[in-house]
Amino acid sequence: MLKKFPLLALSTCAALCAVWTPAAQALTVYSAGPGKLIETLAADFKAASGISVEVFQADTGKVMARLQAESTNPRADVLISASWDSAQDLDKRGWLLPYQSPNAAQVPARYKQPAYVAQGLSALSIVWNSKSGTPRPSDWNDLTQPAFKDKVTMPDPAQSGASLDLLSGLQSRQSDRAWQLFAALKNNGMVIAGPNAQAMNPVLQGARAAVFGAVDYVALGNQAKGESIEVIFPKSGTVIAPRPMMILKSSKLQDDARKFIDYVLSPQGQARVAEAYLIPARADIAIKRTALKDIKLLPEPTDDAGYASRAALLHRFSTLFGRK
């Protein structure tokens, strides 16, 4: 019996599966957002290789639930998730095909494993509406202050892979202090939205003042369009959310899948990643945003004592916020 992902009811996924079927012999890629990036990569790859790509793009929860629902009749060849934990989980189950792309030579060791490698990286941030009339926050705890009462949103970790990575990172590094922070945010009226865009929209519209744990690339893209928001990396530190790419062992197009991974990790593919305001996985690609070296990260845990399973994290978080 396969372990179930806790991210989305499989009945919902079944409805999604009924309205989308990949073209025969096309490489099938399941990808968590951003949607424009994967569509561009798919088009570029076809132009370079002649290989067609069918894309299913959704939030991490829906992508992982769909993959689980199709476990007896797999369709995906390549998976791109927004949560590193999801790749670790699938690898432990034996679902992944080991592959080391030659183009991964420029990817730092911490962002690649024998069966998966980062497409790019995002950092979790506070996104603040500078016209909200609230003081500029500089750290996570600032959002628990009276000035932010009923004015904060957070992406749902059950739908946003990056938000789950932040939850996991805070738990593993701060343990009880992390849960005290979340309890204070709940008491201050923080709203748990859906995926990243649903948490961001009320802040863009001025209905809320800040997002706790926003993926930076989404906000940076909106900022570049002239929105009155600021992306703030908390002074106490944050976590990086690598976006793992992997080939499913069940793929019948493994050679094409390897070529796709190679292309995404090529200088051309990584330049597309940079255009989406993500940090490219390769260290030799120019970027137009805050570099990884300039973002303070939370210290790495000294042991595994603070780690909790994804299911346990989601259960505790959902229980705290009354979402069960």
> Residue 314: phi, psi to the nearest 5?
-65, -40
Per-residue tokens: 11: 């009945």
Q: Note whether 66 and 234 are within 8 A (CB).
A: no
Q: Compute the mean pLDDT over every residue in the chain, rounded to the nearest whole number.
A: 90
Mean pLDDT computed over 159-167: 88
Per-residue tokens: 242: 């690598």
Query: What residue ranges define each of the domains in the chain, with the CATH number in brackets?
Result: 10-120+241-292 (3.40.190.10), 122-239+296-320 (3.40.190.10)
For residue 132, the model assigns a pLDDT of 97
For residue 302, the model assigns a pLDDT of 57
| pTM (predicted TM-score) | 0.83
3-class DSSP state for residue 164?
helix
Query: What would the pLDDT profile of 73-110 be if each residue is shown by its tens digit?
Result: 999 999 999 989 889 999 999 999 999 999 999 999 99
> Does 310 or 305 have the greater pLDDT score?
310
Q: Is the pLDDT of residue 65 over 50?
A: yes
3-class DSSP state for residue 77?
coil
> Residue 238: phi, psi to the nearest 5?
-135, -170
What is the Cα 145 distance to its own chain's centre?
A: 28
Q: How far apart are CA 86 and CA 165, in angstroms?
A: 10
> pLDDT-derived band of residue 14, with 50, 70 and 90 as boundaries?
very low
Q: How far apart are CA 168 and CA 165, in angstroms?
A: 5
